[in-house]
Structure 1
């Protein structure tokens, strides 16, 4: 289902004309109202009127997360305080959080793009969405909530955790869709099995909308097989607006449609800042062209992926982004090899004997980095056959060396040994002092 056919199917020529018009309005606005951007543009030797095409964007300076921290709390706001109706802040950082504000129009924009997200997943009026994203300063819960209500769905604002109650309400209320992190979806399935609930037979779920952490297509397949649903990926970040920056369609599930009438996307070489051709893997950079409260110019996300420009069969004309394979700033460098947790996950999920729960432990012995991969046995598998486990571990070590290029030690642990998370899964423990 397409929620807003006018914008979501705009011919490319008209979409780019709209983007340029909105970009130029944005630049004039922030140059006049935000001292930080006026200074940055002056230092770069560029004025708003110098941007005459989308190709000219490369002349504009980047914005970094540190810039938001340096201007904490409201230094990047482009409207007076009386126009701010909502404040959120990012979690999981040290020191001061990054603060984002919303005008009434910003909330409407956010609601609109989340309505598109749910519609693309086949969720609409008459559906019951169980929203297990966290509510509060985190943008996930409320962003999803408003979008689902806009399309006419009934929303259960249960937030994260309390898995037994989640399942009780799914069954009793007849939830037809749910939203949470993909790792929590798998954890919730384990609880369902313990409670004697067969999701395929006992529940009415048809779709799951999962985001807030990277996950692989193999993990998608496992979720779909266990729950009997369509599992859709969404992408967002608080600094840009929250969830809903990009979304998958149920027809294809091949790349997330970026809401390009609200965001201009680029991919760059993370080392040089050079803009890359579409299709090449690089760091995502977003410019918010309709946000009022805290518009951002060329914000470096540090998320690494590539863009898809070929038309999607669903009819949407927006550029799509592939799944995020890692981050340019916190990717693991082990003995000179760049390693993303998702690369290891892709290897592990090919083994039916294993569960999707794993932990990468990096240490340093002398001057040498070491990598240990801990991974759980799948439910119903046992640790009693030592030789079999040794052969399994050796096979995984060989695959990781062959496909990623790093030597590691694989340790297979019993089912439910690795800690579960109701939010973003913790995949890495780096003990190096670097």
Structure 2
């Protein structure tokens, strides 16, 4: 088992390691990242002022907007010649939020994920079926390198092509599986359709994340696949998957790799720390990142901390399952999307009126988006109110392509006539969540 001694050290020992690494990180960003030097100087803070973990509160917060504003490499602390990999996530401008990694960053990340897989119940003897997406998204590659570091044999199937997923599972009998919970549930349902008994799959544990999921979803997946399903947490701006993970013994909170990440929970309004056990916004400071260290990064995720020792023996703090976000970010099949990203693309299309709504729906067990948009009056007159006119159908294709290209998601588009969408006297309601409404209709 890949279970290093660090995971069972006392809180005092862990804090000593954190402090030394925090001091080194602060010096690194102050000396190598102009953005942080400017922020520190504005607060009249020098690296020499950091003498305890409590001094972390003297340092500025970092937001995702700061990464966007410094696109592509303005927050890098090393020259590009030292960067060996680039990952990223979609941003409001349609450009990705870029994250860089040195060779040492990749090695540390792989070790952290190997530890995470072990906590989930994995071992070096496993075959590991990785259904996370590969590419700029950190999920697929992150789990891949971690599983290889552990010594497992990885099937890098990525997402999609469910029939192929089922075939590979049947043929190789992987002991572990990873992916977004909604997609893995689709795989499970396809197995049911084919009358494949879960006992014949060989799968014993699953590592799921990249989108919010409930205890009810966990129970459904575990019942359908007869496995232990654990939650994994990470985000590209900090590293990727592996920042925290549940252990298979307890499945009660995600163990944070505290030797690499210093976490705080703050009130998102006052920015003050909240006591352990109380909900607030998760803030993370990286302690060992070389290429893109971040100081007090506001994740926008709402959770709480539990510092009690776990039944598995690990002593590092646990974070509760993320309950939601401080903003209106949507996560569609593992891709983070803001309504503002969609709006930006729609407003570039001159045949549309500047009125739209984003409807969150359920397609089977997966979240989906329906864009409701209005054509402008000029186009409406041109097509003679026929919204099935070839010109309108071509416009629909244009919208689909624009959203897919900029936001990395597939959507449905409902074309409406002028004035068909609601108007508002105050703040417009752009995001409409109809998932509960659909559930209620199913119950009826």
TM-score band by shorter chain is 0.7 to 0.9
Q: CA RMSD in A?
A: 2.4
The structural deviation recorded for 1:7 is: 1.0
1:252 aligns with 2:282: no
For 1:291-315, what per-residue CA distance to the aligned partner results, in whole angstroms no more than 9, with x for missing partners? 0001000000000011111110111
Partner of 1:80: 79
> In structure 1, how many angstroms separate the alpha carbons of the residues matched to 2:196 and 2:436?
26
Do 1:360 and 1:374's aligned partners in 2 also have CA atoms closer than 8 Å? Answer: no
Partner of 1:140: 139
The structural deviation recorded for 1:196 is: 2.3
SS in 1 for 2:442: strand
Judging changes above 3 Å, is the alpha-carbon distance between structure 1 residues 376 and 123 closer, same or farther for their aligned structure 2 residues? farther
Partner of 2:237: 239
> In structure 1, how many angstroms separate the alpha carbons of the residues matched to 2:179 and 2:435?
24
TM-score (norm 1): 0.78
Do 1:148 and 1:155's aligned partners in 2 also have CA atoms closer than 8 Å? Answer: yes
Partner of 1:18: 17
Judging changes above 3 Å, is the alpha-carbon distance between structure 1 residues 145 and 281 closer, same or farther for their aligned structure 2 residues? same
The structural deviation recorded for 1:359 is: 7.1
The structural deviation recorded for 1:365 is: 7.1
SS in 1 for 2:68: helix
Partner of 1:412: 442
Partner of 2:283: 285
For 1:196-245, what per-residue CA distance to the aligned partner results, in whole angstroms no more than 9, with x for missing partners? 212x2321110110010111112111110110000011000000000000
Q: Report matched runs for 1:19-168 at 5 Å.
A: 19-91=18-90, 93-168=92-167
For 1:11-69, what per-residue CA distance to the aligned partner results, in whole angstroms no more than 9, with x for missing partners? 11011011011100111111111111000000011111111111111110000111111
The structural deviation recorded for 1:5 is: 2.7
The runs of 5 or more residues in structure 2 that have no matched partner are 331-362, 373-420
The runs of 5 or more residues in structure 1 that have no matched partner are 333-353, 378-392, 394-409, 415-434
1:197 aligns with 2:196: yes
TM-score (norm 2): 0.77
The structural deviation recorded for 1:372 is: 6.3
> In structure 1, how many angstroms separate the alpha carbons of the residues matched to 2:222 and 2:311?
22
The structural deviation recorded for 1:96 is: 2.1
> In structure 2, how many angstroms separate the alpha carbons of the residues matched to 1:372 and 1:244?
30
Judging changes above 3 Å, is the alpha-carbon distance between structure 1 residues 186 and 53 closer, same or farther for their aligned structure 2 residues? same
> In structure 2, how many angstroms separate the alpha carbons of the residues matched to 1:371 and 1:413?
20
Do 2:19 and 2:53's aligned partners in 1 also have CA atoms closer than 8 Å? Answer: yes
Judging changes above 3 Å, is the alpha-carbon distance between structure 1 residues 70 and 227 closer, same or farther for their aligned structure 2 residues? same
> In structure 1, how many angstroms separate the alpha carbons of the residues matched to 2:91 and 2:99?
15
> In structure 2, how many angstroms separate the alpha carbons of the residues matched to 1:89 and 1:374?
29
> In structure 2, how many angstroms separate the alpha carbons of the residues matched to 1:68 and 1:211?
23
> In structure 2, how many angstroms separate the alpha carbons of the residues matched to 1:359 and 1:36?
37
The structural deviation recorded for 1:373 is: 3.6
For 1:327-353, what per-residue CA distance to the aligned partner results, in whole angstroms no more than 9, with x for missing partners? 001279xxxxxxxxxxxxxxxxxxxxx
Q: Report matched runs for 1:328-367 at 5 Å.
A: 328-330=326-328
Do 1:79 and 1:293's aligned partners in 2 also have CA atoms closer than 8 Å? Answer: yes
Judging changes above 3 Å, is the alpha-carbon distance between structure 1 residues 372 and 104 closer, same or farther for their aligned structure 2 residues? closer
The structural deviation recorded for 1:376 is: 9.4
Partner of 2:381: none
The correspondence for 1:261, drawn from 256, 259, 262, is: 259
Partner of 2:389: none
> In structure 1, how many angstroms separate the alpha carbons of the residues matched to 2:432 and 2:251?
33
> In structure 1, how many angstroms separate the alpha carbons of the residues matched to 2:73 and 2:115?
30
Judging changes above 3 Å, is the alpha-carbon distance between structure 1 residues 14 and 197 closer, same or farther for their aligned structure 2 residues? same
The structural deviation recorded for 1:195 is: 2.0
SS in 2 for 1:264: strand
Q: Which has the higher mean CA deviation after the structures are superposed, 87-96 or 46-55?
A: 87-96
The structural deviation recorded for 1:279 is: 1.3
Do 2:32 and 2:77's aligned partners in 1 also have CA atoms closer than 8 Å? Answer: yes
The structural deviation recorded for 1:188 is: 1.1
Partner of 1:310: 308
